[in-house]
A and B are shown apart, each in its own frame.
Chain A
Amino acid sequence: DSGVTQTPKHLITATGQRVTLRCSPRSGDLSVYWYQQSLDQGLQFLIQYYNGEERAKGNILERFSAQQFPDLHSELNLSSLELGDSALYFCASSREGFSYNEQFFGPGTRLTVL
């Protein structure tokens, strides 16, 4: 158990819908990273937050957004969902804001868009 929690574990929804994925980092970790893993694209870095502020942005679509709240949990919002958004979404946390810090991964949320 990494100490990082993600909810929900599974999510099935329809095209055009909007969903919110939630991540709680390990106690004391200030940084949260979001990743997407799909069958055709593999793992991709989406976005990083550090202590409530966006630190780095990767291949995140404009239909997706994220935020980190004062209690350091983070939410990833996916809107106008398409079939191709079906994937595993992981969050990870680290103590500081630098990506060369060790990261601890959550169990992931499996999103299926029908």
Chain B
Amino acid sequence: KNEVEQSPQNLTAQEGEFITINCSYSVGISALHWLQQHPGGGIVSLFMLSSGKKKHGRLIATINIQEKHSSLHITASHPRDSAVYICAPLLNTGNQFYFGTGTSLTVIP
């Protein structure tokens, strides 16, 4: 059983659509990281959150630690948002991350 489940695994959207990527985990965590991996392989940290909600531009991340669930939303999606999005819960037993398998997003013009 995977400790981290992301859904959907693959997502194709039309430009301008509202997108939601979900992350569920089974372990106790203290925080969760959302990462974006570009087609060329580079990784960018989008959010690190331990409660509530964070917003950066068109990106919004929410987390409910008790329900063991986090979501990443993209408003007004754009082709440049095409990437793999990875959630990484941080174990509350130490400085260790688990990683989801990622959601591959393609935004079509």
Contacts and interface: CB of A to CB of B under 8 A. Distances in A.
Interface of A: 2, 42-45, 48, 55-56, 58, 88, 90, 92, 97-105, 107-108, 110
A36 to B, nearest CB: 10
A100 B50 contact: yes
B48 A102 contact: yes
A101 B48 contact: yes
A68 to B, nearest CB: 14
A55 B95 contact: yes
Contacts of A97: 95
Contact of B86 (A43, A58, A92): A43
Contacts of B97: 45, 58, 99
A38 to B, nearest CB: 12
27 contacts: A42-B100, A42-B102, A43-B99, A44-B99, A45-B97, A45-B99, A48-B95, A55-B95, A88-B41, A99-B31, A99-B90, A99-B95, A99-B96, A100-B30, A100-B48, A100-B50, A100-B90, A101-B48, A102-B45, A102-B48, A103-B33, A103-B45, A104-B45, A105-B42, A105-B45, A107-B42, A108-B41
Interface in B84-106: 86, 88, 90, 94-97, 99-102
- Is chain A's binding surface mostly helix, strand, loop or mixed? strand
B76 interface: no
Given A43-B86, A100-B30, A108 B42 contact: yes
A88 B94 CA distance: 24
B96 A105 contact: no
Given A45-B96, A56-B94, 13 more contacts: A42-B100, A43-B99, A56-B95, A58-B96, A90-B43, A98-B95, A99-B31, A100-B50, A101-B48, A103-B33, A105-B45, A108-B43, A110-B41
B27 interface: no
B21 to A, nearest CB: 16
